[in-house]
Every structure is written in structure tokens, then in C-alpha cells.
Amino acid sequence: MSFPLLTVTAAVPAVGAILTAAVPAARRTAAKWLALLVSLATLVLAAVVFVRFEPGGERYQLTESHSWIKDFGVRYELGVDGIGVALIALTALLIPFIVLAGWHDADQEASSKRWRPTQGFFALILMVEAMVILSFEATDVFLFYVLFEAMLIPMYFLIGGFGDRAHAGSDENAAAQRSYAAVKFLLYNLVGGLIMLAAVIGLYVVAGNFSLTEIAEARANGTLDMATNTERLLFLGFFFAFAVKAPLWPLHTWLPNAMGEATAPVAVLITAVVDKVGTFAMLRFCLGLFPEASQWATPAIIVLALISIVYGALVAVGQRDIKRLVAYASISHFGFIILGIFAMTSQGQSGATLYMVNHGISTAALMLVAGFLISRRGSRLIADYGGVQKVAPVLAGTFLIGGLATLSLPGLAPFVSEFLVLVGTYARYPVAGVIATTGIVLAALYTLVLYQRTMTGPVKEEVRSLPDLRARELAVAVPLIAVLIFLGVFPKPLTDVVNPAVRHTMSDVQQTDPQPAIQTVEAAK
């Protein structure tokens, strides 16, 4: 294919970010509409990528390859497999809703400062979108590393410069909390990135190039043979960075601060979009480049994933802040994703990939509706709400569906992915599969308690005048809920794309699905 579709898909939001930032200061509304139109154009291009991808064809498709830094063998090399295609579609789908939900989030700053925060806010969102999409397309390890680190810069400014208005205390205290959350986010991810950089350099020393496809081919035909200790050290360097991004316990502590202090749309951008780069990279780079080391580390990673599942859910139960509750719930969900990846079964890895997509949509639905609620009341504390369903029934209903999706109710999209993860894990690690099911029980507890305390019971005086969802807010919530229901009853469009890529990944690590321990009638006789 001569047309560089993958490059154009990432370039459109990048160019749109520059144009949005250049909109005159007095034309804030124009900047918003430009950002929305660019995000919709990117969605159309992502849909074209999804349609043009052939699940039964070559592993990496729509490929592009150009020399970048010739002396070091660095190439601008792109290609997508089924996993990358699914996550590009997720990213492109969510950004228009993030833009719509954040329509007024920078207006307060715009009224009090001379610079152009509205233009900057939407330009940063589009720049993050461009980098995330390109990271899902990159098949050159060095190119991926550059994108992996570069996306931290716009995220830092989105967290630190555009914080949640519903903050208890003075404006100075709110600014200090935002700054702390942004710096913590940046430092955690920079440390992970620096360790990964050392591993990237080590990989080049061993393999002589950065091409994922060439390294995998060299390993397959025996021309590249890594020493066991070398492979394990390189694996740990990559995995540490991805575990910070994911985030995996005990490297998770930056996430509740970042999501709590950011605006609701930026919180969705963090956990539903950016963090998926970490789990995606575990599949593409950890398993693809270091198959023996991946199997060696699997028992320890499964333990960490189980701790994330149970710990995140338990801490979510005790939260008093709505946004921090969703953050800890996401830590638990990322534990399920990582558990599915390292269960080393096709069901587990298919479920993990679907979980990345479904978690992104369900978290967006819940967090964005929660953001609408918080912006009305001016508080993130659960105790400040009560009886909302009597004064704003549509808001309460959409909030309930988002919560039910979070607890993986059958009929909604996350149920399919969570079920596959548990089945795939139990097939190889029965004890781990049983322990992981406690996350389902705890998810029902924190979700239903959250709904009960905020939406039911007597109507508190402070919420009597809360308006219901407006047209713009309905345009955010309703399509997300529709997608959750559609993928909950008909996940085939995603599974058809994902499953062939999972088979390739299973082949990389030389694993096959364990056979059921069930005797046939003939064998019993």
C-alpha cells in the first residue's frame, strides 16, 4: 500500500494540535470546534485502518519503513497487528468524547490569565492522541521509546495546569496539590523510562538494530541467540517501565493523585488511553522480544497482578472521593489485564486485549458522568451527595450503567473480557484464577455502595437544584453506553481482529493452550 495511512492517522491530530494552539486568543470557541473536528477526522481515519486491516493476513500490515538515524540503524518503521488496530480504534473513539466533556474546563483559566489556556488545553489533548496512536503503530523499538517518553510532556501540563475545580481548600492549596500530582506522575514515569532506555541500548548492543520484526526473525532462524541472563535483564528493564505506565502494584501510587487532581476528561485520557500503552507494550515488546524471560518472570508477575486486583478493589471500597475510587478501581482492572497477558493462554490474552478496550470505554462512561456531577455540586466527596436520582434521573441512570459496566455485569462489554481472562488464567493457574474472582465481588461492593450513597436516599439540600444532563453531556454519555451494550452482546468485530494477533503472540513465547483435564467416555473405559 503506497498511501501512508498509519502516518496520516497520527499526523492529523498532531497538525490539528498545532493549528488549535495557533487560534487567536479571542477565538476560544473556534479552538474548541477545531479540536472536535480534528478528533472526528482522526476517528474516520482510524475506522479506515480498522476496515483495511485483514485479520487473516500478514501479522503486521499497512507497513511503512524509512531510514531515520542511519548510523545507528534507527528507522521510522510502522505496522499494525490486530491488537494495535483495536487500541487505535479505542483511542480515536474516546478523544471526541473527551473534547466534548472538557468543553468548558479551561474557561475559568481563560478569564483570569493573558495566555491562551483554552487553545492550549485542547492542543495538548490532540498531541497526546497523536503520540499514543503512533506508539501503537511503531515497530522500531527506539521510535517507540521516543514516543513513550515524549507523551509525558503534554500529560504533565494537562495535569498540573488544568486541575479539578472541585478541590477542598484554598486556590493555593489546590494549585499545590495539582503540582504535586503532576510532578509525581512525571518522576515515576521518567524513572521507568530511564531504566527502559538502558535496556533499549542493551538490546541494540546484542541485536545490532532496533527493528522488532528483524529481531524476531533473527531469533526464529537462530542467527540471534541471547544469553539467558542478558535476556532476563533486558526484559526487566522493559517490563519495569511498562509496569509503571500500566500501573502495576507497587508502582501504582502516582495514579490516584493524577486522576484525583486532573479534570475528569484528563483523568479519562490518563487511564483509558495513555496507560494502555504500558499493557500493549507488554504484549508487543516483552513477549515478542524476550520469550524465555517472559516465561521465567511469569510467576512473580502473576502474584503482582493478583495483589493489584485485590488491593485496588479493597482500597476503592474505603474511598471517600469519587475520582480516587475510580482510580483505585482502575488499578484493580489493570491487574486483570496483566494477569490475562501472563497467563500465557489464548483466552487470557484475548481477554486482556478486549479488557483494554472495554475498560477504556466503561471508565470513560463512568468518570465523565461523574465529572458532570462533580462540576454541578463543586465537590468530589461522596458524603456531599444523596438522592441525586430524584432530581437528575438521566444523570443517575447513565452513572448507574457506567458503574455496572465497571463491575462487569453480563450484557455489558467488560463482562466478556473479564470472563475470558478468568477462564484463561484458571486453565493454567487454577489458584490464581480463584483468587482473581474476589475482585469481581469487591467491584460489586464499591460500585453499588458508591451509587447508593450518591444517588439514592433522601435528597440533600445542596443537590436539590442540580440540573439533569444537558444536550452536550448526553452526546457524551449516550454513545459510550451504546457501545458498551453493543460490544457486550456482540464482541465478534473485536475478537475477529484480536484473535489472530494473539495466536502470533502465543507462538512467540512457544506456548499452547493447556488441554482440559476431562476424560472422554472412551478413555474412561
Query: Could you write out the DSSP letters of every residue in 214-253?
Result: HHHHHHHTTS----HHHHHHHHHHHHHHHHHHTT-TTS-T
Closest CA to 424 of 343, 358, 364, 370: 343
Q: Is residue 343 part of a domain?
A: yes
pLDDT digits (tens, 9 = 90+) for 62-104: 989 898 888 888 899 999 999 999 999 999 999 999 999 988 8
Alpha-carbon span 117 to 272, nearest angstrom: 23
Let me know: does 138 contact 78? Beta carbons within 8 Å. yes
In sequence order, the β-bridge partners of residue 262 are 163
3-state secondary structure at position 344:
coil
Rounded Cα distance between 408 and 488, Å, is 10
**Could you give the CA distance from residue 288 to residue 298 in angstroms, rounded to a whole number?**
14
Q: Tell me if 508 is assigned to some domain.
A: no
Confidence (pTM): 0.92
For residue 516, is it within any domain?
no
What is the pLDDT confidence band of residue 435, given thresholds at 50, 70 and 90?
very high
The answer to whether residue 518 is domain-embedded is: no
Residue 305, in any domain of the structure: yes
Q: Where are the alpha helices (DSSP H) in 53-170?
A: 82-101, 107-112, 117-137, 141-150, 152-161
Residue 282: CB partners within 8 Å, gap ≥ 6?
A: 239, 242, 246, 338, 341, 342
Give the residue among 240, 229, 223, 226 at the shortest CA–CA distance from 286. 240
Which cell numbers in the block locate residue 306? 493478583
C-alpha cell at 232: 532476563
- CA 455-457-458 angle, 5° bins: 110
- Is 513 within the bounds of a domain? no
337 part of a folded domain:
yes
| Dihedral sign (CA 125, 126, 129, 130) | negative
Check residue 507 and give its pLDDT.
85
Q: How confident is the model over 166-179, as a mean pLDDT?
A: 68
| End-to-end CA gap in the chain | 57
* Helix orientation angle between 322-342 and 254-261, rounded to the nearest 10 degrees: 140
pLDDT tens-digit readout, 440-499:
999 999 999 999 999 988 888 888 888 989 999 999 999 999 999 999 999 999 999 999
pLDDT in tens, 225-238: 888 899 999 999 99
Number of independent structural domains in the chain: 1
Q: Is residue 314 part of a domain?
A: yes
Cα 401 to Cα 87: distance, rounded to the nearest angstrom: 23
* CA atoms of 493 and 416, how far apart (whole Å): 13
The grid coordinates of residue 201 equal 541500548
Confidence of residue 112 (pLDDT cuts 50, 70, 90): very low
224 versus 143: which is more confidently predicted?
A: 143
* Choice among 292-296, 434-438, 456-460 with the minimum mean pLDDT: 456-460
The residue range of the domain holding 84 is: 5-503
